Copies of this chain bind each other. A is one copy, B any other.
Amino acid sequence: MNIIQSLEWRYACKKFDSKKKLNKSQIDTLKKAFNLTPTSFGLQPMKMLVLDSDELKAKIFPHAYFQEQVKTCSHILVLCIDTVVNTDTIDDYFNMEKEVRGTSEEVVGAFRKQLKDIYGNMDAESIERSSIYQTYIALGNLMTVCAIEEIDACPLEGFIPEKIDEILNLNEKNLKSVLMLPVGYRAEDDIMSDMKKVRKPLKDMVIEL
């Protein structure tokens, strides 16, 4: 399949075949793809949780409005923001850059200061919102990666984050859940799988100037 065929193949899977599990190599690909998501200034202020326990799925289920994909999927990917983003985050980034690239502090210093100024001028809400944006980039990346790898997925904003945070003890990990992506294989009887994709005509979505 070319990339457009892959994107047409994907859909928001509403019912997975609960007997079919993704293998370790597939999960590894999703983990690496998540970590390769481009983020604002490269700060990566987020984490991905990977869970496959039936017990956790059952606990999450009612707080995701009883959506069947949560219970029938192979794994749930939970995209979370870091609740602590501060000057240490920025220092950690530049220290890592120096280590990986061998860049000198002379070169890195101006960027380090600039980024600290930018974040210093943002209130807590703006910082959180910026981190949330990055989880949406990750979601876009992961859904496309799933399509290419022929992994079915269903993006979910529809859940009660506070409940998920409680079930997964995210507070103590300095995390907050933002998005979920159940992944696996579509069930043969998922009525959505045969439905035509609904999209606006291209001419209404793209303007060439």
Contact residues of A with B, CB < 8 Å? 3-4, 7-8, 10, 12, 29, 31-38, 40, 42, 44, 46-51, 53, 56, 93, 96-97, 100-101, 129, 132-134, 136-145, 148-149, 155, 157, 168, 173, 195-200, 202, 205-209
A32, A44, A138, A196 interface centre (most CB from chain B within 10 Å): A32
Identical chains in the assembly: 2
Q: In the assembled complex, how far is the CB of residue A56 from the closest CB belonging to chain B, in whole angstroms?
A: 6
Question: By the criterion CB–CB under 8 Å, are A35 and B202 in contact?
Answer: yes
**Majority-rule SS of A interface residues:** helix
A143's closest neighbor in chain B, by CB? B38
A12's closest neighbor in chain B, by CB? B38
Question: By the criterion CB–CB under 8 Å, are B56 and A209 in contact?
Answer: yes
Distance A199 CA – B207 CA, assembled complex (angstroms): 35
Across the interface, A3 reaches (CB within 8 A) one of B140, B149, B196, namely B149
Q: Across the interface, which residues of B come within 8 angstroms of A195, CB to CB? A: 101
A4, A8, A101, A206 interface centre (most CB from chain B within 10 Å): A206
Distance A198 CA – B40 CA, assembled complex (angstroms): 13
Question: By the criterion CB–CB under 8 Å, are A208 and B144 in contact?
Answer: no
Known A48-B205, A137-B139; 19 more pairs at CB < 8 Å:
A3-B29, A4-B36, A7-B32, A34-B205, A36-B197, A38-B143, A42-B198, A44-B199, A47-B205, A47-B206, A48-B207, A49-B207, A51-B208, A101-B195, A101-B196, A132-B133, A137-B137, A137-B155, A138-B140
